[in-house]
Chain A
């Protein structure tokens, strides 16, 4: 194949991979019975696989597929980053200053490339200590989370707003109805969502794009921990870029390199750990002096680079990671669960916080969008883990969407019966706010909404007399009570409670099942 064909093939692969990612994202919606295909990218992600298994201390069969990516990388180099990674593709497309030689000078020093290796080291050490806090920096989790909790809801809001506006004009209705039924319902399923963490998640994503001003694919070159892992593996790859003599030192390849790893001071050679196998350099070379070659049978690992972390740096970093893990251990959550930290169904059956890779797939599929990425609700260490905000959306009684979609098994693959037997929390009535209790006003919404076949909210004849609001004459008021043994904490009562602001019935965390300061 000609160099240009390789380039074209790479671009097509990138489009297909990003397209597949977005397609899987869109189709992973809860429709009652459909099986969910989402999570394919997580199964191929070796960083997620390694940390989830280390932190969770078990073999997760669903994630074993990531070995494929490792083998691919050992053969072809950092091809994941250059050809497949959806976030990498977006960052490549949003890099404004391609093909300008002068820009290279404004890039940060190569010295900073070590950050991604050190970040990887921190993540691995933390994983050994049972902590996956920093997995929110995995590129796949970043993209899923940003799409799920910011970009997709924004698109949906914008679409619905425009639709609302246009529906004021009655003559447009036939056209709008056709668009609504044919396009908008299949895409958005009429789910309207709000997200507490939308703004920080979106700003973080914009920040990654903004870094492209400093250097093309800045995130991929300097920060990405998955890039660090794959780059480190690429040092041993079988296919590597080579420069043949006589090279004319024209610098064209350097100008085309998206990761800036081609070093004019070193005969325009490059570091396989940084090279994403985009083949731009092969195309740019007029002489045909640049090519990718198999290293067999004379294979040997690549020489070290000046920006590789030194032993001392590595040791300091590991010590820092251990300090961080210790810090996590003295957060309040280590002693008591926050009152409203309701985890997804079944999460009480696993070591949820150690297994959760912060990907946001459950947030995406939750049909009520009550599952939200945390900010600090679960402490700093649990940032971006999912929790149920029942006032914004409840857990649907017969829904297993999050159970099906969780790639790491943090939400275990339980059956519906097991889900109904595993409470997420416990509802509790605030008698100072509840309409019948506090205001002698009849209201039984919580009892009505309770999905348990044998209701967990029961109505007991109260002593107060009905004053208005539909209560006629001297009928006695019915007052709700929660039966603790029956409540599974789904939060539908809290969601529908008609009092303003904070609900008069709320779901509270279950007593923690971890002993305090359990340690490593």
Chain B
């Protein structure tokens, strides 16, 4: 026992260095919770927005502003809708990095239950983006039920997108970054998936469905899938959805209303709640697309709080009478 040497200085320093490196590594961990948002009082009344000028990236007057396309084949009506807006090459340039954001909220049901976006619609958009010269097309969502991989598979979107030449991306937790929301009314910053902001083109492909808290889940609501800490969005759901929409601004919104869920949304699960409406709504204006989609449920944009708020913030227009709508049947 007594023969054991005491620890040498070199060893001591070596161990100290290793322990120090370990402590330093703990600093690498990112804190999970958004700290500045956790308040018990949230803004209750909307301030009048005067500073934020309506930065509408909208086609000049005379061009088709919103397309409603109806027909038997989901892919075909999608193709025709984009064509009527001027074709995909209007949005996607050669070499662009494109992200398509469908609604893949859970891995509970297949797409026939109208809970997740129709895979044929997504696949058609992937094909068109590639044909327009996109460098790569990624498809992603962050499900709240099940894992990303299982939900991608269950929805049928993984198979359809891969066959079309696109790529499914499992959102990387490391790439949600706190991002300022300059026009935000209630929230001034949030954790947003950076790829969605960095991509050259973002195409938003919600499914139109019933949603108890939001009324309906449509284009603006679908953008919640690009955020972290979504449970906290619910504290002031409608205003925060509008705030997020002011930041993310998809280049194109294609509302999948081939099948719509009229009850028990957003998770569904009952085919009796599904209505076959065989419609695609496409527009550069996310608010207008959402506004039109409301009519399929016998509602107007004024029934859905977040659409009203987004329109008031100047993100788009909810007023369907003031825009040029092209309706086509395939």
Nearest-Cβ distance from residue A419 to partner chain B, whole angstroms:
13
- Is the Cβ of B107 less than 8 Å from the Cβ of A447? no
Quick one: CB contact mask for B254-269 with A, threshold 8 Å, 1 for yes?
0000000000101111
A306 at the interface (CB under 8 A from B): no
- Is the Cβ of B269 less than 8 Å from the Cβ of A468? no
Give the distance in Å from the alpha carbon of A167 to the alpha carbon of B195 in the complex.
12
- Is the Cβ of B173 less than 8 Å from the Cβ of A398? no
B145 at the interface (CB under 8 A from A): yes
Known contacts A161-B25, A181-B169, A472-B305; A399 and B174 CB within 8 A of each other: no
Nearest B residue to A467 via CB reads B44
- Is the Cβ of A192 less than 8 Å from the Cβ of B173? yes
B69 at the interface (CB under 8 A from A): no
- Is the Cβ of B146 less than 8 Å from the Cβ of A396? yes
- Is the Cβ of A450 less than 8 Å from the Cβ of B149? no
Which listed residue, B29, B43, B147, B237, touches A189 by the CB 8 Å rule? B147
Nearest-Cβ distance from residue B115 to partner chain A, whole angstroms:
10
Known contacts A455-B264, A468-B42, A470-B239; A498 and B150 CB within 8 A of each other: no
Of the candidates A190, A467, A496, the one having the most CB atoms from chain B within 10 angstroms of its own CB is: A190
Which listed residue, B25, B150, B172, B235, touches A32 by the CB 8 Å rule? B150
Interface of A: prevailing SS:
loop
Nearest-Cβ distance from residue B206 to partner chain A, whole angstroms:
16
Give the distance in Å from the alpha carbon of A447 to the alpha carbon of B234 in the complex.
12
A454 at the interface (CB under 8 A from B): yes
- Is the Cβ of B150 less than 8 Å from the Cβ of A399? yes
B111 at the interface (CB under 8 A from A): no
A74 at the interface (CB under 8 A from B): no
- Is the Cβ of B171 less than 8 Å from the Cβ of A398? no
A352 at the interface (CB under 8 A from B): no
Contacts of B107 in A (CB 8 A): 32, 396, 398-399
- Is the Cβ of B108 less than 8 Å from the Cβ of A498? no
Give the distance in Å from the alpha carbon of A327 to the alpha carbon of B240 in the complex.
56
Which listed residue, B44, B147, B171, B266, touches A468 by the CB 8 Å rule? B44
- Is the Cβ of A33 less than 8 Å from the Cβ of B212? no
Which listed residue, A30, A442, A451, A468, touches B145 by the CB 8 Å rule? A451
Known contacts A161-B29, A180-B172; A445 and B146 CB within 8 A of each other: no
Give the distance in Å from the alpha carbon of A496 to the alpha carbon of B232 in the complex.
10
Nearest-Cβ distance from residue B297 to partner chain A, whole angstroms:
17
- Is the Cβ of A496 less than 8 Å from the Cβ of B144? yes
B28 at the interface (CB under 8 A from A): yes
Contacts of A163 in B (CB 8 A): 172, 174
Of the candidates B106, B171, B213, B239, the one having the most CB atoms from chain A within 10 angstroms of its own CB is: B213
Which listed residue, A164, A399, A469, touches B146 by the CB 8 Å rule? A399
Give the distance in Å from the alpha carbon of A160 to the alpha carbon of B147 in the complex.
17
List CB contacts (< 8 Å) of B112-151 with chain A.
Answer: 144-151
Contacts of A492 in B (CB 8 A): 145
Quick one: CB contact mask for A380-404 with B, threshold 8 Å, 1 for yes?
0000000000000000111100000
Give the distance in Å from the alpha carbon of A520 to the alpha carbon of B149 in the complex.
45
Quick one: CB contact mask for A436-450 with B, threshold 8 Å, 1 for yes?
000001111101111
- Is the Cβ of B305 less than 8 Å from the Cβ of A450? no
Known contacts A398-B107, A498-B232; A32 and B154 CB within 8 A of each other: yes
List CB contacts (< 8 Å) of A461-486 with chain B.
Answer: 467-470, 472, 478
- Is the Cβ of B145 less than 8 Å from the Cβ of A191? no
Contacts of A467 in B (CB 8 A): 44
- Is the Cβ of B154 less than 8 Å from the Cβ of A398? yes
- Is the Cβ of A452 less than 8 Å from the Cβ of B269? yes
Known contacts A32-B146, A190-B148, A399-B150; A451 and B267 CB within 8 A of each other: yes
- Is the Cβ of A160 less than 8 Å from the Cβ of B305? no
Of the candidates A191, A449, A470, the one having the most CB atoms from chain B within 10 angstroms of its own CB is: A470
B57 at the interface (CB under 8 A from A): no
Contacts of B238 in A (CB 8 A): 470
- Is the Cβ of A448 less than 8 Å from the Cβ of B266? yes
Give the distance in Å from the alpha carbon of A492 to the alpha carbon of B106 in the complex.
12
Which listed residue, A160, A444, A500, touches B174 by the CB 8 Å rule? A160
A171 at the interface (CB under 8 A from B): no
Known contacts A190-B147, A190-B148, A448-B267; A164 and B174 CB within 8 A of each other: yes
Which listed residue, B28, B173, B234, touches A190 by the CB 8 Å rule? B173
B162 at the interface (CB under 8 A from A): no
Contacts of B59 in A (CB 8 A): none
- Is the Cβ of A447 less than 8 Å from the Cβ of B212? yes
Contacts of A162 in B (CB 8 A): 25, 28
- Is the Cβ of B44 less than 8 Å from the Cβ of A164? no
Interface residue tally of chain A, by bracket?
Answer: 35 or more
B175 at the interface (CB under 8 A from A): yes
- Is the Cβ of B150 less than 8 Å from the Cβ of A470? no
Of the candidates B144, B149, B239, B264, the one having the most CB atoms from chain A within 10 angstroms of its own CB is: B149
Contacts of B213 in A (CB 8 A): 442-445, 447-448
Nearest A residue to B44 via CB reads A468
Contacts of A500 in B (CB 8 A): 38
List CB contacts (< 8 Å) of A143-165 with chain B.
Answer: 157-158, 160-165
Give the distance in Å from the alpha carbon of A177 to the alpha carbon of B167 in the complex.
13
Nearest B residue to A180 via CB reads B172
Give the distance in Å from the alpha carbon of A190 to the alpha carbon of B140 in the complex.
14
Give the distance in Å from the alpha carbon of A498 to the alpha carbon of B231 in the complex.
6
- Is the Cβ of A397 less than 8 Å from the Cβ of B305? no
Contacts of B235 in A (CB 8 A): 441, 443, 469-470, 498
Give the distance in Å from the alpha carbon of A445 to the alpha carbon of B212 in the complex.
9
Nearest-Cβ distance from residue A278 to partner chain B, whole angstroms:
30
Known contacts A398-B108, A448-B212, A470-B237; A185 and B146 CB within 8 A of each other: no
Contacts of A454 in B (CB 8 A): 264, 269-270
A367 at the interface (CB under 8 A from B): yes
- Is the Cβ of A453 less than 8 Å from the Cβ of B29? no
Known contacts A190-B170, A496-B231; A469 and B153 CB within 8 A of each other: no
- Is the Cβ of A165 less than 8 Å from the Cβ of B147? no
Known contacts A454-B264, A498-B232; A164 and B153 CB within 8 A of each other: no
A31 at the interface (CB under 8 A from B): yes
Contacts of B234 in A (CB 8 A): 443-445, 498
Nearest-Cβ distance from residue B327 to partner chain A, whole angstroms:
33
Nearest-Cβ distance from residue A445 to partner chain B, whole angstroms:
5
Contacts of A192 in B (CB 8 A): 173
A459 at the interface (CB under 8 A from B): yes
B10 at the interface (CB under 8 A from A): no
Give the distance in Å from the alpha carbon of A319 to the alpha carbon of B175 in the complex.
60
- Is the Cβ of A449 less than 8 Å from the Cβ of B145? yes
- Is the Cβ of A32 less than 8 Å from the Cβ of B170? no
Contacts of B73 in A (CB 8 A): none
- Is the Cβ of A444 less than 8 Å from the Cβ of B44? no
Nearest-Cβ distance from residue B217 to partner chain A, whole angstroms:
10
Give the distance in Å from the alpha carbon of A367 to the alpha carbon of B145 in the complex.
10
Contacts of B305 in A (CB 8 A): 470, 472
Give the distance in Å from the alpha carbon of A498 to the alpha carbon of B213 in the complex.
14
- Is the Cβ of A397 less than 8 Å from the Cβ of B145? yes
Nearest B residue to A472 via CB reads B305
B211 at the interface (CB under 8 A from A): yes
B5 at the interface (CB under 8 A from A): no
Give the distance in Å from the alpha carbon of A445 to the alpha carbon of B38 in the complex.
17
* 8 other A-B residue contacts (CB within 8 Å) besides A398-B154, A467-B44, A498-B231: A165-B28, A166-B174, A185-B149, A185-B170, A397-B106, A449-B144, A449-B145, A496-B231
14 example contacts (A-B, Cβ-Cβ < 8 A) are as follows: A162-B28, A163-B172, A165-B28, A397-B146, A398-B107, A442-B213, A451-B106, A451-B108, A453-B264, A469-B235, A470-B240, A478-B212, A492-B145, A496-B231
What 3 pairs between A and B have smallest CB-CB spacing?
A453-B269, A32-B150, A468-B44
